[in-house]
């Protein structure tokens, strides 16, 4: 038997995923919404590897079956095509709630849908957590800090967000998702965790998703100019995906609600990032300046003291070490598979 089924929602049998000391760990039943996406699929790999049973719930808006196909024959893996905006009945121990497009290009594509995903989708998954007594983790974002007036950003900072701008569907959507999460915690006793994720990159990102690291890497590989928006002096701090997944799992298994910043404090201007991409892929790659997008945050860098102190977590992989790992995946997908390269 791979795991002993638990009676979710029935008293001490369900500990929200906590393992009593001294007992051998039993596989948990875990839902990962958005598990066919970039971050979700890496998380699924780790959970399956650890011996858990994983149900991926995804509507394939930005996710791809290819990201999780290697688990199809595993009896501990299930994939459900489902939109989290619709209610869902499942019996599980833990819910990692990632479903939501993350690239500005994708989330601005249908802003009302983005809000529904963040608000109604999160409400449904919290309703599910409440009904079965599962522990719930929300993947929020550094975007809740908006165009921050405090630098680096600490979790106690309330942010500087435009409520009526083109990014608001995402920023305000995630802020509301955080509010819902805390209200289910306070009001219904749901065990919750909140992660505020800073810019993350790595293998399996959509090649043309419009985010800066995927754009620059694909452009350099295709011998196209690197498109720097604005003056390129705005900053971001880039985290490699395996560091994030480790942080999410520690947060879920730990005792603290959060919110916790999960990010790499290594801060780069977009021009510096372009330079690292040049050094990694093609020193002759040209840079082309383009007008910047509306409401673009000027700077972003996590203060991760809280995650270090309370979760014993900190990122291990610097941009210069992580980028080549992503480049080999992109190289293979762009040049190794013609179907993929043309999409
Ligand atoms: P992604 O776009 O690769 O993955 C999102 C997944 O959610 C996709 O598989 C998509 O198909 C699915 N999805 C979207 N809407 C859905 C819906 N209504 N119902 C069901 N599934 C739906 O993005 P990612 O980078 O993997 O991000 C994962 C999560 O982490 C998101 O919640 C995002 O907001 C958060 N996050 C990511 C970053 C980052 O830099 N990658 C930063 C901050 C926060
Ligand atoms: N929900 C769900 N799966 C469940 C339980 C609830 O999708 O297993 C949805 C439910 O349809 C509702 C939302 O979660 O829209 C909030 O549920 P809750 O029970 O908290 O609120 P209520 O149904 O009382 O409004
Ligand atoms: N950016 C850029 N060139 C691109 C894509 C993005 O210079 O091809 C800039 C963008 O203006 C922003 C930063 O890179 O300042 C990060 O953008 P991204 O969309 O990756 O994520 P964000 O942090 O804005 O959500």
Ligand 3 pocket, residue 270 CB under 6 Å: yes
Ligand 3 atom with the shortest distance to the CA of 219: 8
Ligand 3 center to 212 CA (angstroms): 4
Ligand 2 center to 33 CA (angstroms): 16
Ligand 1 pocket, residue 153 CB under 6 Å: no
Q: Which structure tokens are listed for 326?
A: 């992503």
Mean pLDDT of 223-237: 97
Ligand 1 center to 18 CA (angstroms): 26
In degrees, rounded to 5, the angle at the alpha carbon of residue 92 between the alpha carbons of residues 88 and 96 is 80
Residues 281-300 have pLDDT tens digits of 999 999 999 999 999 999 99
d(CA 220, CA 319): 16
Tell me the helices (H) and strands (E) count for the chain, helix number first. 11, 13
Q: Is 145 helix (H, G, I), strand (E, B) or coil?
A: helix
Which of 32, 44, 62 has the most ligand 1 atoms within 8 A of CB, as the residue to mutate?
Answer: 62
> End-to-end distance of the chain based on CA atoms, in angstroms?
42
In degrees, rounded to 5, the angle at the alpha carbon of residue 19 between the alpha carbons of residues 18 and 23 is 165
Q: What is the dihedral sign for C-alpha 322, 260, 162, 97? A: positive
Q: Where are the alpha helices (DSSP H) in the chain?
A: 38-50, 104-109, 111-116, 122-132, 168-188, 212-221, 241-253, 270-280, 305-311, 319-335, 338-341
Q: What is the dihedral sign for C-alpha 83, 41, 122, 89? A: positive
For the CA of 83, the nearest ligand: 1
d(CA 220, CA 281): 6
Please tell me the residue having the least CA distance from ligand 1 atom 37. 102
Which of 127, 131, 183, 189 has the most ligand 2 atoms within 8 A of CB, as the residue to mutate?
Answer: 127
Given its phi and psi angles, is residue 110 left (phi above 0), alpha (psi -120 to 50 degrees) or beta? beta
pLDDT at 212 over 50: yes
Q: Which structure tokens are listed for 92?
A: 């599980």
Q: Is 290 helix (H, G, I), strand (E, B) or coil?
A: strand
Residues 178-191 have pLDDT tens digits of 999 999 999 999 99
Supply φ then ψ for residue 176, to 5 degrees: -65, -40
d(CA 132, CA 127): 9
Q: At what angle do helices 212-221 and 270-280 cross, to 10 degrees?
A: 40
Spot the catalytic one: 96, 107, 145, 170. 170
Half-sphere exposure of 129 (CA within 13 A, CB side): 34
Please tell me the residue having the least CA distance from ligand 3 atom 5. 212
pLDDT band at 301 (very low <50, low <70, confident <90, very high): very high
Mean pLDDT of 249-258: 97
Look-up of token digits 């569907």: 169
Mean pLDDT of 238-263: 98
User: How many C-beta atoms lie closer than 10 Å to residue 340's C-beta?
Assistant: 14
ipTM over 0.95: yes
Pairing of strands 235-237, 29-33: unpaired
Ligand 2 atom with the shortest distance to the CA of 188: 20
Asked if 149 contacts 160 with a C-beta cutoff of 8 angstroms, the reply is: yes
Please tell me the residue having the least CA distance from ligand 1 atom 13. 99
Mean pLDDT of 232-246: 98
For the CA of 225, the nearest ligand: 3
Whether the full predicted model's pTM is greater than 0.80, yes or no, is: yes
Identify whether 170 is a catalytic site residue.
yes
Supply φ then ψ for residue 16, to 5 degrees: 65, 20
Ligand 1 pocket, residue 219 CB under 6 Å: no
Ligand 1 center to 318 CA (angstroms): 23
Ligand 1 center to 40 CA (angstroms): 7
Give me the percent of the chain exceeding a pLDDT of 90: 90
């Amino acid at each position: 038997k791979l795991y002993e089924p638990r009676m979710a929602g029935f008293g001490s049998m369900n500990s929200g995923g906590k393992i009593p000391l001294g007992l051998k760990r039993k596989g948990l039943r875990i839902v990962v919404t958005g598990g066919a996406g970039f971050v979700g699929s890496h998380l699924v790999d780790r959970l399956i590897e650890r011996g858990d049973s994983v149900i991926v719930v995804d509507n394939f808006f930005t996710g791809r079956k290819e990201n999780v196909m290697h688990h199809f024959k595993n009896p501990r893996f299930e994939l459900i095509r489902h939109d989290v905006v619709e209610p869902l009945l499942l019996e599980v121990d833990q819910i990692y709630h990632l479903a939501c497009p993350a690239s500005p290009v994708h989330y601005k594509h249908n802003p009302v849908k983005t809000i529904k995903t963040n608000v109604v989708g999160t409400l449904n998954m919290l309703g599910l957590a409440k009904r079965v007594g599962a522990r719930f983790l929300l993947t929020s974002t550094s975007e809740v800090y908006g165009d921050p007036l405090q630098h680096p950003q600490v979790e106690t900072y309330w942010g500087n967000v435009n409520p009526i701008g083109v990014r608001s569907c995402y920023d305000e959507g995630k802020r509301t998702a955080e509010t819902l999460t805390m209200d289910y915690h306070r009001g219904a006793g749901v065990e919750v965790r909140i992660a505020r994720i800073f810019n993350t990159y790595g293998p399996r990102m959509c090649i043309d998703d419009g985010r800066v690291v995927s754009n620059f890497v694909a452009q350099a590989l295709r011998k196209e100019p690197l498109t720097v928006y604005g003056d390129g002096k705005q900053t971001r701090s880039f985290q490699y995906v395996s560091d994030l997944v480790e942080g999410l799992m520690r947060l879920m298994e730990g005792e603290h609600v959060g919110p916790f910043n999960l990010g790499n404090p290594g801060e780069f201007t977009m021009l510096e990032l372009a330079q690292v991409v040049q050094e990694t892929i093609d020193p002759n790659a040209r840079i082309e300046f383009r007008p910047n997008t509306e409401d673009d945050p000027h700077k972003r860098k996590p203060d991760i003291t809280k995650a270090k102190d309370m979760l014993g977590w900190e990122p291990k992989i610097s941009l210069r070490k992580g980028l080549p790992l992503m480049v080999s995946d992109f190289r293979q997908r762009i040049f190794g598979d013609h179907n993929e390269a043309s999409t």
